[in-house]
Structure 1
């Protein structure tokens, strides 16, 4: 099909689009080279049809999606900016702490919001803590070298924004409000960053799907910068102009210089292949967030063609659709191969593999300015020049020239007073000193056209970068600017999430053995002498851009001190806690407890509950993660929600490297974002802890889950080297096996004898699991699910059951609808499983609660409730009974 791009249409969408692109060339001169590059690549595609079948992406090029993707990629942002100046400011939302490892800046206009800097893990939780309205966020500008350190919270942030906007739409419909806030009319979200941004988003296609919020990605690279020949902004809208800078490390520059575009034809071919791959990735992202897919659409298939897990339906004798309850052909070969109905997977999941990529070593930085302010309009001058009052006055104020009846051309500068230049700031991220030389060579800093009005630079710096004399001289040479520095060695590791920290401090007053104080410091180790223009970044600090550029500190969040929280603790709660501690220390009580627990294996195994909330991070509870430390065998992490690493840092402090070195397995129960988006950073921290301490590099970390999880980790490993080559993926599920028994050689490393899992009712691929150990210790973990008989069977006689209890009993209807369990249902599972100890977790984030449960002498089952940062040994579960009155009093009537 000569002249067609793997497409049955008579005229290729790419062909007709690129013909239009050539027309655009004369209108938008600063985009000429970019558009012509698309045209060259299109012609290359025709001569060399892309072999898309190897990625199972034929469906991408068999639709008009290609045309829309390329149209979006060349669409210029609106430049119809208003001459009426809005008050605008940039505010620091996060600085580097254990809770918020990145630096995030919110740029505020009345009609729109922008995020600059990092969207690291913990960013959305900080936004909840600060009560920031995010619904008007339309653009996110990621700085730095793209990786999980600076973009690990991006997926969670996108889900939050999509849900907020969806809820807002539904609420307005419910109230009959047809008028929409102009800021909310465009529900799309644009994300700007370095190479691999689109790839990062596309890797999540198996577990993220939202409708009605199109995602547009803009990747800035060194190659694209070479095409930019003027000082025109890289991007603009009605409020701001942005110049993106791709800063390369010295290593990258050296590698590139050896083969600097030596073969133009090969270079063109390579660029065209990259564009082809980019189209595939963009189409996947588009189908993830702007699809017409419906959950209630069923398609016909033969029973033998159905891939489990999947909801299977069939038409009964009465013609109605019913759920199919029989065995599959795979389970029983004698079953008739019936015609059944199943749901199609959402479109993004149809792409089995993405085109490969490699890590980027480019750090993205930005210069941001608002528009120049026009001078005051002089109507007398306009009349004297022959302009008739009315629409022509308005056109002059909007920058248009007018021709009078006498044929005289009147330009705006003839009737407007002296204007004011736009003000602005820069956001520069240097992960290490290797990027510094490239930054210093940037010509933007010597361009008056770009830098005029820029009065502040936000510096996001890696460790020790601030001490480089070259950087300090750069700052000294620009001492008319304010330099605000954010780095882990220049900003304190303060308690960024005050609500969670205060809750932990109060619990510590009740029982310091089981509720440790979060590890933090309000002090700073490094002080920079002699640079007066340098200021430490502080959460809440504001840089006002209009009407005057100034740094404001009135909104800076005061650092939380544990002593203040202690002073405000309720006296009646402290008295109840003192009574409880006295009873725990009673000699006779302890002796009885020892006798009753003598038959429990591994009583000194310790459970640390790192995240005990459901769905989204809240002020008080983080999302799912539980660490089990089994003496003599190892540490085991059950689920790993966003910022689990931060929670580990708060709990273990300086002891964390030892904890990580003994980490044997990460178990992920299912692919909902609140259960696994912290996995990459935990693996990276484990990799660094074991590598730097001289431990043998052949040590492996098992990550066990459904195959969707292991595929995601493999795909993301192409974006950055986080230690995946040292991960031992163990896939469990219907397509493989529900059990895993390590070889005899591996047992000495893994610690456990076996893992056994079973499918549970929650989502596709959801699994409950049991770990068994040589000494008889056995723990069972439900993940998220409705009560499961299979789970009861495989967990029979468990030493410890950790079960979700998302809803109170009066909300059983919600539990059924959302496929979760109630408190009583979870306890009933433990009873039928004959579990000796039960830990309830994964609570609704709407309120803090203490379910009423009875436990007596520790001889029979004992059930307790999990709190973030709680550390408790199996033998101490019973002691929590004494604390129950104090806990009930502490949380009396508290709701989110």
Structure 2
């Protein structure tokens, strides 16, 4: 039998702890937070595998289940018909409230709820097969339930996984000495059956088999804070005897500490770890730390997206494509900053990482954890870190160096070569970032745009946090847009799974927390999962006292969303928010019509659009600077939205499918590229149109077959994840489109510039954005 434990997600800026346990072909997933299925896509983990049968959750909070509903939709659509889920009690109620968007009768769910503990509740057997038995250990906080703060949960579940003992090896020589002839009799003895010889002698398996090998024990120890430590260390089911269940033979034990630093340095917890280490019932104990506070920091997980962003940053530069936090190692980042400061247009050559220095850094981090717990074998979790469990001869840790790094030197050097090959030669006149006002793209609304060109850079900007349709992918996450008005607050337009992680990766932890403190509202367009599943984690974070918010976030959305959020807050995690039904903004009535201008400085209007039931588009009118922004959500071309958004400064519109898929667009109630442009440019007369919500058929860039016609509009741009559009830079925005065929030729599919005879260098010259000046706003 082969078995191993593999870390899938770590607690970093944009991923949350999740692990896969493999025994032969059986697979068990522990935790399913935001981004789990995206990690599976990034690292080619087949979650739709027929043997993926069990998901175990330690809490009913977004940290554990934020990615569950999206994962279930993907599994059902991939043909999976059965799955078992084990979670704390309350999960059934949340599933009932999720039916408006999670209904998939083809996928049968076997849900086991773990009840809150009563005194010292014994471990509960929740899953058992021929390979492993899984026991749930519910743990209560020391705090009384009625005084739990927002963002807290009354109890959590740790899991004990006990692998079945492996049979010993068949001793053929011993069988021959007993007079057993080779053949089927050998097979019966190997299967554990006794046989009767012709002489009448009974031969038992123990007479011809070596001693069985004790199976490993894996403990997933969820201890959220010191309030849970006493109940954890005092639990009878977590003693060495209870864990190992065998006083005759010692077992290999792995403990995954899903606990913050304050828990690991608690003397009670340290004493428990040291007692387990010293127990004669354990042959060896391997500890794995899995928590952001232990030093994971901004470690990169989504390399494909980071490579795209780096390419755009190097070719088109700031202000539209700043580098997300943690994209580069500190040494590589210094190289990029020095190159930008020198206004150099040559390519950068990155030196390969010093593996010995990396090993030393890892060793130093692990030694710090060993000192913290007072035990020898402790390592910090890394993505794709594998602990081999069986066979016994293979037991040990295996690191995946590629998954553990920021973008490696080879990746960066390849991108540098691609960009430098198509980058136009700079001239003396082209040494400043962006485009002069005199070179701005002409448009009928140019006088309006010029007013915003002189705005400060801390007035208003848009950050695209997710630009894909349906499911998260390697290159693009699902729908989310941040409208940041700085001191005036911020608004999220849609909030697909992983939005919080995308925000934190884009801005860094400190700036992301500042934005969340100022977040006034989240607007949800409709109930499809790719537009709202990230809301749970955003509200969870905003409800945590340490963030320092004084008022709840306002949530505007379709009516069924209110029931879902209420169920989550009641049965899973106590989160704070103030809800408004989108329908009241279709024909705004008092007092709602005045509430948002007073609290946001924005007039809000919702428009019923042509998609699923209760789908809305959004029109925002700024009461301070007198601009209008339109966001379509998901829709077919909608004349009512075009009329309501007339003369908008910015129209953000879905363009899910390319023009040759018009029939599918009609069937699925989406827009093609040409339809979106026609509505925004011609009917709405928007000054700038930004297309988003691209099908995963187009991983990086849509296959724009009519690119020559598209470029003639001179007011259209394509959104990318992490793209930042400050209102003062709107004049230069359309020039980005000219550069895309040169930067992403692999996505052309023979058609992206089918009707365009310009060379790659000419396309980039038209983009007018070839300088790489460094600098970011604070």
> Under a length normalisation based on structure 2, what TM-score does the superposition of the two structures give?
0.79
1:673-719 CA distance string (max 9 Å, x none): 1100001111232334xx54655x4x343211210112211121113
Match of 2:135 in 1: 243
Query: Which of residues 445, 448, 464 in structure 1 aligns to 2:239?
Result: 445
2:610 maps to 1:780: no
Q: Distance in 1 between matches of 2:665 and 2:444?
A: 39
SS in 2 for 1:367: strand
Is 1:552 paired with 2:444?
no
Question: Considering only CA atoms, is the larger Rg found in Structure 1 or Structure 2?
Answer: 1
Displacement of 1:638 in angstroms is 0.9
- Report the CA distance between 1:189 and its aligned residue: 0.5
Distance change (3 Å), C-alpha of 1:399 and 1:252: farther
Q: Does 1:514 align with 2:320?
A: yes
Q: Distance in 2 between matches of 1:595 and 1:613?
A: 31
Larger displacement relative to structure 2 (786-795 or 665-674)? 786-795
Residues 60-71 of structure 1 mapped to structure 2, 5 A cutoff: none
The verdict on how the C-alpha distance between 1:216 and 1:738 changes in structure 2, with shifts beyond 3 A counting, is farther
What SS does the corresponding residue of 1:792 show, helix, strand or coil? helix
- How has the CA–CA distance of structure 1 residues 193 and 411 changed in structure 2, closer, same or farther, with 3 Å as cutoff? farther
How far the C-alpha of 1:517 sits from its partner, in A, is 0.8
Q: Distance in 1 between matches of 2:437 and 2:488?
A: 32
The answer to whether the aligner puts 1:619 opposite 2:619 as a matched pair is no
User: Cα deviations across residues 70-125 of structure 1 (Å, max 9, x unaligned)?
Assistant: xxxxxxxxxxxxxxxx222111111111221x211112234321112x21101110
**Superposition pairs for residues 516-595 of structure 1, below 5 Å?**
516-520=322-326, 527-528=368-369, 530=371, 531-548=375-392, 550-556=395-401, 557-561=403-407, 565-568=411-414, 569=416, 570-572=418-420, 575-576=423-424, 582=431, 587=436, 589=438
Residue 497 (structure 1) aligned with residue 302 (structure 2): yes
Distance 1:550-1:743 versus aligned 2 partners, 3 A rule? same
Larger deviation, residues 615-624 vs 88-97: 88-97
Asked if 1:122 corresponds to 2:35, the answer is yes
Pairwise mapping of residues 421-820 of structure 1 onto structure 2 (< 5 A)? Answer: 421-443=214-236, 444-447=238-241, 448-449=244-245, 452-479=250-277, 480-490=284-294, 491-509=296-314, 510-520=316-326, 527-528=368-369, 530=371, 531-548=375-392, 550-556=395-401, 557-561=403-407, 565-568=411-414, 569=416, 570-572=418-420, 575-576=423-424, 582=431, 587=436, 589=438, 597-600=446-449, 604=455, 605-630=460-485, 633-653=488-508, 654-688=510-544, 692=546, 697=550, 699-724=551-576, 727-733=577-583, 738-739=587-588, 742=592, 744=594, 747-758=597-608, 760-775=609-624, 776-820=626-670
Q: Residues 212 and 743 (structure 1 numbering): CA distance in 2 closer, same or farther, change over 3 Å? A: closer
Superposed displacement of residue 856, structure 1: 8.9
Structure 2 CA distance for aligned equivalents of residues 598 and 766 of structure 1: 34
Paired residues of 1:606 and 1:630 also in contact (CA < 8 A)? yes
- Residue 606 of structure 2 aligns to a residue in which SS? strand
CA distance in 1, matches of 2:548, 2:145: 31
| Residues in 1 aligned to 2:444 and 2:636: alpha-carbon distance in whole angstroms | 35
Higher RCO, 1 vs 2 (CA within 8 Å, ≥6 residues apart): 2
Report the Cα distance in structure 2 between the residues aligned to 1:238 and 1:440, rounded to whole angstroms.
Answer: 30
Residue 722 of structure 1, CA deviation: 4.4
Structure 1 residues 104 and 694, CA, compared in 2 at 3 Å: closer, same or farther? closer
Kindly indicate whether the alpha-carbon contact (under 8 Å) linking 1:511 and 1:581 is maintained by their aligned counterparts in 2: no
Q: How far off is 1:127 after superposition?
A: 0.7
Residues 633, 752 of structure 1: 8 Å contact kept: no
* CA separation of 1:564 and 1:88: change in aligned 2, threshold 3 A: same
Give the 3 Å change call, closer, same or farther, for CA 232–815 of structure 1 in structure 2.
closer
Stretch moving more, 605-614 or 740-749: 740-749
Distance change >3 Å, CA 511–CA 586, structure 1 → 2: closer
Q: Is the 8 A contact 1:519 1:652 kept in 2?
A: yes
Q: Secondary structure at the match of 2:308?
A: helix
- State the Cα distance separating 1:135 from its structure 2 match: 2.2
Matched, 1:210 2:79: no
Matches of 1:553 and 1:425, distance apart in 2? 17
- Alignment correspondent of 2:82: 188
- 365-374 or 386-395, larger mean C-alpha shift: 386-395
CA–CA distance in structure 2, aligned partners of residues 255 and 789 of structure 1? 51
TM-score, structure 1 length as denominator?
0.69
Deviation at 1:888, TM superposition (A): 2.4
Q: 2:8 aligns with which of 85, 93, 102?
A: 93
Aligned to 2:353: none
Alpha-carbon shift at residue 623 of structure 1 (Å): 0.2
Stretches of structure 1 that go unaligned for 5 or more consecutive residues are 1-85, 167-186, 257-357
Question: Are 1:833 and 2:748 an aligned pair?
Answer: no
Which residue matches 1:375? 168
- Report the CA distance shift for 1:195/1:377 in structure 2 as closer, same or farther (over 3 A): same
Which secondary structure state, in structure 2, belongs to the residue aligned with residue 576 of structure 1? coil
Preserved CA contact (<8 Å) 1:240 1:369: yes
The separation in 2 between residues aligned to 1:853 and 1:520, in whole angstroms, is: 37
Q: 1:383 to 1:159 in 2, by over 3 A?
A: same
TM superposition shift of 1:465: 2.1
Q: Could you say if the C-alpha distance between residues 581 and 144 of structure 1 is closer, same or farther in structure 2, counting changes exceeding 3 Å?
A: farther
SS in structure 2 of the partner of residue 717 of structure 1 = helix
Are 1:239 and 1:371, in contact at CA under 8 Å, matched by a contact in 2? yes
Aligned to 1:135: 48
Distance 1:763 1:463, change over 3 A: farther
TM superposition shift of 1:226:
6.8
Determine whether 1:109 maps to 2:109: no
Q: Would you say how many aligned residue pairs link Structure 1 and Structure 2?
A: 676
Tell me: CA distance 1:728–1:143, structure 2 relative to 1, closer, same or farther (3 Å).
Answer: closer
CA contact (8 A) 1:583 1:589 kept: no
Mapped partners of 1:412, 1:373: distance in 2: 14
* Secondary structure of 2:571 counterpart: coil
5+ long unaligned stretches in structure 2: 278-283, 331-360, 750-778
The CA deviation string for residues 247-282 of structure 1, in whole angstroms up to 9 with x for no partner, is 2222259999xxxxxxxxxxxxxxxxxxxxxxxxxx
Q: State the 1:218 CA deviation.
A: 1.5
What RMSD over aligned residues (CA atoms) do the two structures have, in Å?
3.5
- Matched residue, 2:770: none
For residues 584 and 554 of structure 1, the distance between their equivalents in structure 2, rounded to whole angstroms, comes to: 42
Structure 2 Cα separation of the partners of residues 693 and 363 of structure 1: 23
